[in-house]
């Protein structure tokens, strides 16, 4: 059971790796037009399908099919990136005075489409289910929760085991913002979410569903926001091929496509379509060193490889659209950014010197290791380019190991790698940066740094932004000192959509809200 729990805790991270791409200089959380959508009409959206309509089993990212769940369930609240301003929806507030006891207050009168009240009891039922079910994609984020207590029909009290003044950041990033009808879950049991019987309080209800093919959503006549949704129907078609999905929007067969890789963006904008880039995640996709076994239990080996690689050159070779490397743990628009913690630049001369020293200390044998990557085409191309760069040095030998998607996470969990492509990214350091700690329940990205552990703890316990900046400055210094991984490029979500649509709103890790989305003509 513990192995299952740890593996499920990896899913959100591996989802980011599977769709990750370099950063872009522009971002937006809504469509660039100021037009207001008319009432009525239907659209077709293409992209990845959710593996289930059960929130418990789904990662909250559009590139993992989360959009269909946003349409069915809505979300409790969202947070504005960088400022963390609270944007109420079904929940009107989620506050704490001490970081130990949190109070969630709900909007009164909201009901699920089956008539069940969406009250504090309903939220408790859903959150208890995630806390106790090892299949939940948010199981790890709830390990610090002591209890959920209903104190009134609209108020739920959350008691944590240890202080976390940033717990508000967790809910909209993972699956906890989606609340399903307890009545429907109890009636359907373990089969809930497998078909069209999923019940939420979102702007749409499920008319029909064929998993991995198509989900048809229709207007929820009892939706809690008056005058919404705008659309009568959304048909979400599962299209995994990026070119086929892009072509369908360009041709007008579909109106919306959400994706992680940047190649489709240029084609769409050249064709006159609208586009949106959600570049609001801190952190990045990285090449992670396994410090638990040779050769990267030696800091000199980690330093040598880091200085040998030219990440901007890799991005120039294998990506389009002027994407740039991650130069720091935080983006420049983050309140925690400080240029003095920028990552070291490539230094071929020093790298070769270190490779030579390592070989001399190892009887003349070169530094040899394996770089692991999943079968994702774009990611494989990036790691292959890194291998090509290393081939130009003496006294180093890097092999490439391509692992099938489902087995990739298993290999990382088992520590069966020397270097591996990984991702740590979220709008705020909490909750994803916790993976860098030695106390995190999944031991993959642990920096093995006492200073780093202390900084992460200080970051979630700090009472203001200034104190958090100090804490995360210490975290960045610990990362630089440990040479634990090579942070390469940002994780972003892109969307392309037809000229006659508007109102698409993005939040969290790049999933979309559909209540105001619709046609302009």
pTM for the predicted model, two decimal places: 0.91
CA 190 to chain centre: 26
Residue 299 CB neighbour total at 10 angstroms: 14
CA gap 92, 108 in Å, rounded: 9
Which range has the worst mean pLDDT, 16-25, 81-90, 426-435?
16-25
Q: Where in the chain is the domain with CATH 3.10.105.10?
A: 282-489
Nearest by Cα to 367 from 357, 379, 382: 357
pLDDT at residue 350 greater than cutoff 70: yes
113-118 contacts, C-beta under 8 A, 24 or more apart: 113/181, 113/199, 113/200, 113/201, 113/205, 113/220, 113/222, 114/181, 114/183, 114/184, 114/199, 115/222, 116/181, 116/182, 116/183, 116/184, 116/199, 117/153, 118/90, 118/179, 118/201
Residue 436 in 3-state DSSP? helix
The helix or strand, by DSSP H or E, that contains position 350, with its residue range, turns out to be: helix 348-361
Each residue's pLDDT tens digit, 459-471: 999 999 999 999 9
Q: Is 362 exposed, middle or buried (0-12, 13-18, 19+ CB in 10 A)?
A: middle
Each residue's pLDDT tens digit, 256-305: 998 866 678 888 889 999 999 888 999 999 999 999 999 999 999 999 99
Reported CATH class of domain 31-279+499-519: alpha beta
**97, two tokens:** 């005075």
Q: How confident is the model at residue 14 (pLDDT cuts 50, 70, 90)?
A: low
Specify the residue for token string 């909750």: 431
Give me the percent of the chain exceeding a pLDDT of 70: 92
CA 436 to chain centre: 16
Q: Where in the chain is the domain with CATH 3.40.190.10?
A: 31-279+499-519
pLDDT for residue 22: 40
- HEC letters along 103-122: EEEECCCCECCCCCECCHHH
The number of residues making up the chain comes to 521
Q: Topology of 282-489 in CATH?
A: Dipeptide-binding Protein; domain 3 (3.10.105)
CA gap 402, 144 in Å, rounded: 35
């Amino acid at each position: 059971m513990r192995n299952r729990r740890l593996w499920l805790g990896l899913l959100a991270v591996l989802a980011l790796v599977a769709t990750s791409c370099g950063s872009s200089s522009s971002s937006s959380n809504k469509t660039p037009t100021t037009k207001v959508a008319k009432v009525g009409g239907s659209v077709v959206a293409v992209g990845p399908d959710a593996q289930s309509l059960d929130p418990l089993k789904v990662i909250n990212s559009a590139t993992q099919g989360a959009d269909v769940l946003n349409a069915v369930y809505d979300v409790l609240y969202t947070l504005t990136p960088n400022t963390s301003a609270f944007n109420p929806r079904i929940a009107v507030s989620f506050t704490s005075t001490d970081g130990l006891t949190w109070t969630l207050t709900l909007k009164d009168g909201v009901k699920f489409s089956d008539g069940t009240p969406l009250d504090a009891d309903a939220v408790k039922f859903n959150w208890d289910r995630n806390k106790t079910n090892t299949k939940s994609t948010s199981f790890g984020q709830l390990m610090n929760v002591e209890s959920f207590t209903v104190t009134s029909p609209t108020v739920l009290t959350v008691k944590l085991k240890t202080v976390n003044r940033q717990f508000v950041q967790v809910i909209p990033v993972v699956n906890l913002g989606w609340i399903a009808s307890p009545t429907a879950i109890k009636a359907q049991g373990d089969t809930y979410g497998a078909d069209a019987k999923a019940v939420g309080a979102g702007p749409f209800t499920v008319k029909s569903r064929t998993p991995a093919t198509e989900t048809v959503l229709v207007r929820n006549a009892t939706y809690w926001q008056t005058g919404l949704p705008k659309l009568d129907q959304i048909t979400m078609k599962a299209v995994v091929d990026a070119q086929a999905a892009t072509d369908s929007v360009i041709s007008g067969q579909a109106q919306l496509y959400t994706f992680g890789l940047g190649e489709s963006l240029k084609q769409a904008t050249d064709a006159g379509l609208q586009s949106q880039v959600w570049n609001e995640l801190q952190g990045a996709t990285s090449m992670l060193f396994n410090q638990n076994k040779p050769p990267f239990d030696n800091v000199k080996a980690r330093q040598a490889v880091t200085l040998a690689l030219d990440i901007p050159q890799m991005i120039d070779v294998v990506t389009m659209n002027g994407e740039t490397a991650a130069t720091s743990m935080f983006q420049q628009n983050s309140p925690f950014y400080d240029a003095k913690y920028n990552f070291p630049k490539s230094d071929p001369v020093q790298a070769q010197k270190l490779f030579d020293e390592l070989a001399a200390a190892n009887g003349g044998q070169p530094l040899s290791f394996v770089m692991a990557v999943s079968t994702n085409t774009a990611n494989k191309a990036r790691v292959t380019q890194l291998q090509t760069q290393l081939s130009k040095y003496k006294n180093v030998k890097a092999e490439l190991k391509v692992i099938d998607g489902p087995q990739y996470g298993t290999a990382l969990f088992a520590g069966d790698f020397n270097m591996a492509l990984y991702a740590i990214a979220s709008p705020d350091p909490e909750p994803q940066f916790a993976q860098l700690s030695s106390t995190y329940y999944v031991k993959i990205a642990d920096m093995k740094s006492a200073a780093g552990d202390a900084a992460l703890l200080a970051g979630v316990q700090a009472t203001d932004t200034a104190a958090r900046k100090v804490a995360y400055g210490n975290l960045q210094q610990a990362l630089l000192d440990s040479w634990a991984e090579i942070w390469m490029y940002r994780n972003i979500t892109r969307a392309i959509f037809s000229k006659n649509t508007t109102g698409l709103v993005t939040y969290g890790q790049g999933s979309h809200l559909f209540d105001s989305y619709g046609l302009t003509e």
